[in-house]
Amino acid sequence: MRLIEDYNLIRGRIFDIQRYSIHDGPGIRTIVFLKGCVLRCRWCCNPESQEYDIQTVNANGKTRIYGEDVTVAQVMETVMRDADYYRRSGGGLTLSGGESLLQPEFAKGLLMAAKDYGIGTALESMACVDYEVIASVLPYLDTYLMDIKHMNPQKHKAFTGRTNELMLENARKVAQSGQTNLIIRTPVIPTFNDTVEEIRAIAEFADKLPNVTRLHLLPYHRLGQDKYQWLGRKYEMGEILPPDQEKMEMLKKTVESVSGLDCRIGG
Q: How far is CA 4 from CA 76, 96, 100, 141, 183, in A?
A: 12, 23, 21, 17, 29
**142 binding other proteins? (CB under 8 A):** no
Nearest by Cα to 30 from 38, 21, 42: 21
**193 binding other proteins? (CB under 8 A):** no
**20 binding other proteins? (CB under 8 A):** yes
**5 binding other proteins? (CB under 8 A):** no
**168 binding other proteins? (CB under 8 A):** no
Can you tell me the distance from the alpha carbon of 136 to that of 116, in angstroms, rounded to the nearest whole number? Answer: 16
**Chain-centre distance for alpha carbon 4:** 26
Q: How far is the CB of 250 from other proteins (least distance, A)?
A: 14
Residues 25 to 44 in contact with other proteins, rule: CB under 8 A:
27-28, 31
Q: How far is the CB of 122 from other proteins (least distance, A)?
A: 12
**110 binding other proteins? (CB under 8 A):** no
- For residue 43, count other CB atoms closer than 10 A to its CB: 22
List the one residue from 9, 64, 65, 81 that touches other proteins (CB under 8 A): 81
Q: Which stretch binds other proteins (CB under 8 A): 83-91, 128-136, 171-179, 200-208?
A: 83-91
**Closer by beta carbon to other proteins, 87 or else 172:** 87
Give the number of residues in contact with other proteins, rule: CB under 8 A. Answer: 32
User: Do the Cβ atoms of 82 and 92 come closer than 8 Å?
Assistant: no
**Chain-centre distance for alpha carbon 66:** 18
Who contacts 230 (Cβ-Cβ below 8 Å, separation ≥6)? 57, 58, 59, 60, 64
Nearest by Cα to 172 from 152, 140, 192, 148: 148
**Chain-centre distance for alpha carbon 53:** 20
Report the SS3 class of residue 22.
coil
List the one residue from 40, 64, 88, 253 that touches other proteins (CB under 8 A): 88
Q: How far is the CB of 159 from other proteins (least distance, A)?
A: 20
User: Do the Cβ atoms of 141 and 122 come closer than 8 Å?
Assistant: yes
Residues 208 to 237 in contact with other proteins, rule: CB under 8 A:
218, 221-226
**104 binding other proteins? (CB under 8 A):** no
**Closer by beta carbon to other proteins, 99 or else 124:** 124
List the one residue from 15, 24, 164, 263 that touches other proteins (CB under 8 A): 24
Under the rule (CB under 8 A), what is the footprint of other proteins?
18-24, 27-28, 31, 45, 60, 81-82, 84-85, 88-89, 91, 218, 221-226, 239, 242, 244-245, 266-267
